[in-house]
C-alpha cells in the first residue's frame, strides 16, 4: 500500500496533470486589454501592437535599443549620503531603497551611458519610474551633472529621457536643491555649444518638469505621455472646473507650443539620429556601407576602362 501511495499515485499524477503556463509569458495591455506575447512585446519596445499604447520600459532596455548594436559604456555617478535626514515614515528610507534596488536590479533611479547612435557619439541619461517613481534625489542630481560633465569632456550632445513623479520626499530640501544644480549642469552644455535634447516619457511631473526636463534645445515626447507640474486632479480640485479633454498630455502640449515633436518609441532612435546630426552640423547618417572592392577586380575594371576610352587623333 505504501508503494502505491508513495510512488505509483504521484507518478500517475505527474504524467496526466496539466502543466501550468508561466505567468510572465503574456502581458495585458493597460489601455486596450489585449494579451501580448512577451517576446513580441519586447521586440516592439514595450509598445502594444494593437493600440500603440506605450508601456513602461527600463533605462537599460531603452539603451539597448537606442545605441548601435546595443553597446554602451556606463558613466560613473558620485554616491551621495545614504540617509541624510534619517527619514522614516511607514518604513525607514534605507529599507525603501533596498526594496527598490531588489525590484529593479538597479542602483538608483537614473542610468547614464555613453555610446553611438547612427555612428553619432552621444551621452544619454534615463530615469527609471519603477525605482521609487523615478523621484529626483541627490543621486539623480549627481547623475545629470556627471552626464553633462562627460558630454562637455567628450564634446558630445546629451540626450535625456525623463520619467518622474517629482522630488524625493525622503530627502526633503536636499532633493529640491537638485533643481538649481541640474539647471547649472544644463548651462554648462549651452556654454560649450553642445546640444541638449530631452525626451519626455510618461509620466514627467513635479520639480523635474520645473527644471532640467524643460530646458532642452529640442523637446520630444512619447505619445500620450502625462507632462505637468501639478496633476490634473489637483488642478481640478483647486479651480473647481472641468479640464479640457487630454489636458497635459503630449498631444495637447504639442498643439499649445510646449513640445517640438511627439514621436512613437519605435521611431525615436531614427528621430534622435537626425536631430543630433542636424544640430551638430553633420551630414545625414550612413545607413549602410558597401563592401570594399576586390583589388584584382578593381585593377581589371581600370584596365578595361582605359582600353575603352576614346583616343584623340592629330
Q: How far is CA 241 from the centre of its chain?
A: 35
Query: Which residue has cell 553642445?
Result: 194
* 29 labeled part of a ligand binding site: yes
Contacts of 34 (CB under 8 A, 6+ apart): 28, 48, 49, 50, 51
* 228 labeled part of a ligand binding site: no
Q: How many CA atoms lie within 13 A of 83 on its CB side?
A: 11
CB atoms within 10 A of CB 198: 23
* 51 labeled part of a ligand binding site: yes
Q: How far is CA 129 from CA 14, 16, 164, 227, 247, in A?
A: 42, 44, 6, 14, 21
Backbone angles phi, psi at 181, to 5 degrees: -65, -45
229, 209 in Cβ contact below 8 A? yes
**Which bin fits 221, alpha (ψ -120 to 50), beta or left (φ > 0)?**
beta
Tell me the Cα Rg of the chain.
26
DSSP, residue by residue, 142-157: HHHHHHHHHHHHHT--
- What stretches of the chain adopt beta strand conformation (E)? 26-28, 35-37, 72-74, 110-117, 120-127, 158-164, 196-204, 218-221, 261-262
Q: How far is CA 216 from the centre of its chain?
A: 16
143, 110 in Cβ contact below 8 A? yes
Binding site as annotated, residues for Zn(2+): 29, 32, 48, 51
Binding site as annotated, residues: 29, 32, 48, 51
Amino acid at each position: 500500500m505504501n508503494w502505491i501511495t508513495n510512488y505509483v499515485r504521484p507518478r500517475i499524477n505527474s504524467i496526466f496533470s496539466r502543466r501550468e503556463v508561466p505567468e510572465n509569458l503574456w502581458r495585458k495591455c493597460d489601455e486596450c486589454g489585449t494579451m501580448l506575447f512577451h517576446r513580441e512585446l519586447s521586440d516592439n519596445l514595450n509598445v502594444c501592437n494593437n493600440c500603440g499604447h506605450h508601456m513602461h520600459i527600463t533605462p537599460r532596455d531603452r539603451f539597448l535599443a537606442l545605441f548601435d548594436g546595443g553597446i554602451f559604456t556606463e558613466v560613473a555617478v558620485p554616491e551621495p549620503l545614504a540617509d541624510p535626514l534619517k527619514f522614516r515614515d511607514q518604513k525607514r528610507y534605507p529599507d525603501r531603497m533596498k526594496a527598490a534596488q531588489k525590484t529593479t536590479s538597479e542602483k538608483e533611479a537614473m542610468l547614464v551611458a555613453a555610446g553611438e547612435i547612427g555612428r553619432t557619439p552621444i551621452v544619454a541619461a534615463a530615469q527609471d519610474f519603477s525605482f521609487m517613481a523615478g523621484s529626483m534625489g541627490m543621486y539623480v542630481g549627481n547623475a545629470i551633472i556627471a552626464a553633462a560633465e562627460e558630454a562637455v569632456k567628450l564634446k558630445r550632445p546629451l540626450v535625456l529621457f525623463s520619467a518622474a513623479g517629482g522630488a524625493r520626499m525622503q530627502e526633503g530640501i536636499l532633493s529640491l536643491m537638485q533643481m538649481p544644480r541640474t539647471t547649472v549642469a544644463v548651462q554648462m552644455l549651452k556654454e560649450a555649444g553642445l546640444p541638449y535634447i530631452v525626451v519626455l516619457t510618461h509620466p514627467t511631473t513635479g520639480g523635474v518638469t520645473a527644471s532640467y526636463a524643460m530646458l532642452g534645445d529640442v523637446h520630444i515626447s512619447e505619445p500620450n505621455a502625462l507632462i505637468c507640474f501639478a496633476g490634473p486632479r489637483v488642478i481640478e480640485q483647486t479651480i473647481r472646473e472641468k479640464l479640457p479633454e487630454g489636458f497635459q498630455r503630449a498631444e495637447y502640449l504639442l498643439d499649445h507650443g510646449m513640445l517640438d515633436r511627439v514621436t512613437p518609441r519605435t521611431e525615436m532612435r531614427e528621430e534622435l539620429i537626425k536631430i543630433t546630426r542636424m544640430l551638430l552640423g553633420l551630414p545625414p547618417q550612413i545607413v549602410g556601407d558597401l563592401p570594399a572592392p576586390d583589388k584584382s577586380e578593381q585593377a581589371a575594371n581600370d584596365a578595361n576602362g582605359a582600353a575603352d576610352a576614346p583616343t584623340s587623333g592629330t
